[in-house]
Amino acid sequence: MEKESSGERIVWVDCLKLFACLAVYVDHTSGFLYFNPYILYASYFSVPVFIFLSGMTGYGSNSKHVSEPYLEDMRRRLLRIVIPYAIATAFYVVYIYRMFDLKTYILSLLRFDISAPFYFLVFYIQLVMIGRGLYKLIQWTGKRTYFQWIYLFEIFVFVLFAALMMRYTYVLPVHGGGKYLFGGTYLVVYFLGMIFGKYCKRLVWGGKLSCIVCACSIALSVLWVIFMVKDQFQIDGRLMYFGAVNPPGFTLVLYTGMIILAGWSLDGAIRSSQNIILNKLWKWISRGGKYSLYVYLFHLLFLSIFQRKGGYIQNIWMKRIACSLFVFGGCYIIGVMIEAGMKKYIRSEEQYGKNKKVENLSNGYWNRVSDGYRDTAE
């Protein structure tokens, strides 16, 4: 995930990222820690919420770096994804094969198939690469007189385009949206997130209104989960929409919007309350969302280890607590270590770039001086 254009992390976004990480964990522990279909369906918002938030913060990142050369911007942003992915793949190769096989490692890196959740990286990288083009489109649209109608038309075009991509493209033999160009309907979710990123700061609600919107969003989300369990995504089959769960269809995109609205309005209600303890607690919770990428990458590894070593625990609540602590603790420890290493690497790269720039300026100066002496001699 990107940071806000000001460089500061967005509290409610990090809180929702943590919530999305919990949803991924719940989704992948169905049949092991619980058997309730309502809990399973309630967790389906995880990846669409993550992609929406990525689009939102991606808008802020593009607004900050739009003057930066495209290739340099992509290098900086993709390194933050590729390095953790490469490290995670190495962990999975060693765990699965009990040795490090370089050929298997390279093939796994290229195929994104060593772990099922890696599919999201296939289309997420594509979305990051076209993010600047989407940013410029949104900037152009925002300057038009009837920009609301133009946005609606653009969304409709993206929906049609996504449906075509899901029918006529095939990228890699991976799970879900990773099979399709730009992730199929995930492209629509990402674009909606970028539009929201442009206008969310302009929508300021009072404390009472935020509480009402939050309560209504949560209530509608609960009712929508019940509807999804009963409907089994049949409504998506009746529409000209080729998504259902992964990539998301109309039903799941609407559910994602409810979750986003609930988190955003809850943040407004907490900030409007001016309660010091409540605000500190909210910020403390948001710290868990900082390492969401590492939860996506490593949670199945730690879950598999726990199922082998800790599956003997008989008490279901003890098993749930132990498994959750083991999985999230492992993911966050690895995340902290990788982030620390990447910070050192990026800092050294930046210092090298500054030194190179000074060296180029110095060489240019002495070249100009030598040219001046040459001209004088002539």
* pLDDT of 318 higher than 90: yes
The pLDDT value recorded for residue 200 is 83
Contact 52, 256 (CB under 8 A): yes
Percent of the chain whose predicted confidence (pLDDT) is above 70: 88
* pLDDT of 358 higher than 90: no
The pLDDT value recorded for residue 243 is 64
Q: Is residue 6 part of a domain?
A: no
* pLDDT of 4 higher than 80: no
The pLDDT value recorded for residue 205 is 75
Q: Categorize the per-residue pLDDT at 344 as very low, low, confident or very high, splitting at 50, 70 and 90.
A: confident
Q: Categorize the per-residue pLDDT at 343 as very low, low, confident or very high, splitting at 50, 70 and 90.
A: confident
* pLDDT of 334 higher than 90: yes
The pLDDT value recorded for residue 2 is 46
Contact 124, 51 (CB under 8 A): yes
Q: Is residue 327 part of a domain?
A: yes
Q: Is residue 302 part of a domain?
A: yes
pLDDT tens per residue across span 40-67 = 999 999 999 999 999 999 999 999 888 8
* pLDDT of 169 higher than 50: yes
pLDDT tens per residue across span 174-207 = 988 999 999 999 999 999 999 999 988 777 777 7
Secondary structure class of 98 (helix, strand, coil)? coil
- The CA distance from 264 to 268, in Å, is 6
Q: 329 or 1, which is more confident?
A: 329
Poorest-pLDDT segment among 11-25, 82-96, 262-276: 262-276
Q: Categorize the per-residue pLDDT at 102 as very low, low, confident or very high, splitting at 50, 70 and 90.
A: very high
Mean pLDDT of 299-311: 90
The pLDDT value recorded for residue 3 is 46
The pLDDT value recorded for residue 284 is 93
* Residue linked to tokens 């772990």: 115
The pLDDT value recorded for residue 5 is 41
**What's the total number of domains in the chain?**
1
- The CA distance from 212 to 210, in Å, is 5
Percent of the chain whose predicted confidence (pLDDT) is above 90: 66
- The CA distance from 204 to 207, in Å, is 10
Poorest-pLDDT segment among 28-32, 190-194, 239-243, 365-369: 365-369
* Residue linked to tokens 């992609």: 51
Q: Is residue 373 part of a domain?
A: yes
The pLDDT value recorded for residue 115 is 93
Q: Name the region of 101 (left: φ>0; alpha: ψ -120 to 50; beta: rest).
A: beta
The pLDDT value recorded for residue 275 is 86
Mean pLDDT of 145-152: 93
- The CA distance from 31 to 356, in Å, is 56
* pLDDT of 150 higher than 70: yes
Cα–Cα separations (whole angstroms), residue 281 to 89, 215, 273: 35, 20, 13
The pLDDT value recorded for residue 325 is 95
- The CA distance from 28 to 132, in Å, is 33
- Give the sign of the dihedral formed by CA 91, CA 96, CA 102, CA 108: negative
The pLDDT value recorded for residue 6 is 43
Mean pLDDT of 329-357: 77
Q: Is residue 1 part of a domain?
A: no
Q: Is residue 3 part of a domain?
A: no
Q: Is residue 145 part of a domain?
A: yes
Mean pLDDT of 281-299: 93
The pLDDT value recorded for residue 76 is 87
Query: What residue numbers bound the domain in which 239 lies?
Result: 11-377
